[in-house]
Amino acid sequence: MTGNIRFRSSDDFREGAVFAVDKPSGWTSFDVVNKVRISLRGAYGKIKVGHAGTLDPLATGVVVVCTGKETREIERYMGQEKEYVARVTFGHTTPSYDLESAFDGEYDYSRVDGELLESVTRRFVGEIEQFPPAFSAVRVNGVRAYEMARAGDKVEMKSRRVEVRELEIVEMKMPEVVLRVTCGKGTYIRSLANDIGRECGSGSYLSALRRTRVGEFRVEQAFRVEDLVRLLENKTELNQHIN
């Protein structure tokens, strides 16, 4: 079993602990938090639990979880650099910019080659203006954008300034391209996938996403949910994973 738990004091989750979970596809970040909260309740009682940054349900990878007094540090963890491996598929677009919604456009991608893609991706490195997806947790007039989008309402999203520090083409087998992205807080990889397709004169969407790092928390050292649950319910085994 991989994974380490960093405690503020001994093995006291109420005093504060932080660790990374490898979120499976289909789970929300809140699902992870809720599972941790329930698992802790039996052995440790009611403890405050939160996560440091939402990861889309269809995505997998690092979700940083804080307990007890360490939840006061959530904003700091959220501000740390993130790394993703993203699969972008050309030929279609979707309203959500990923596979949460059905295709709403079909595009020719025959002119998209390595040279064009290299040129386009370079434009997205540095500080860029980005529109969050309408299917996102951003609040618009006090309402979550995804709630409005799912209800069929028109959502006017405002652009925001974000930073993409690295954007590397890992593999290109059209219509699919695999990218490695390191970025700052607030960057939407779904928007990046959509924007790259548009700038290539085609259309594309995010077909898979894995968050491999948040700050110093790497997916290789993250807990699988089932392992974490067993650990939290076994104080003896827990001692082996205290950092």
Q: Which residues are catalytic?
A: 56
pLDDT value for 243: 60
Q: Where in the chain is the domain with CATH 3.30.70?
A: 6-79+216-241
pLDDT value for 242: 61
Q: What is the architecture, at CATH level 2, of domain 6-79+216-241? A: 2-Layer Sandwich (3.30)
Q: Where in the chain is the domain with CATH 3.30.2350.10?
A: 82-214
Checking 131-134 for CB contacts under 8 A at 24+ apart, the result is: 131/157, 131/158, 131/159, 131/160, 131/191, 132/157, 132/160, 132/188, 132/191, 133/96, 133/97, 133/157, 133/188, 133/190, 133/191, 133/194, 134/95, 134/96
pLDDT value for 1: 62
Q: What is the architecture, at CATH level 2, of domain 82-214? A: 2-Layer Sandwich (3.30)
pTM, two decimal places: 0.92
pLDDT value for 239: 59
pLDDT value for 241: 62
pLDDT value for 11: 74
Residues of the chain with pLDDT under 50: none
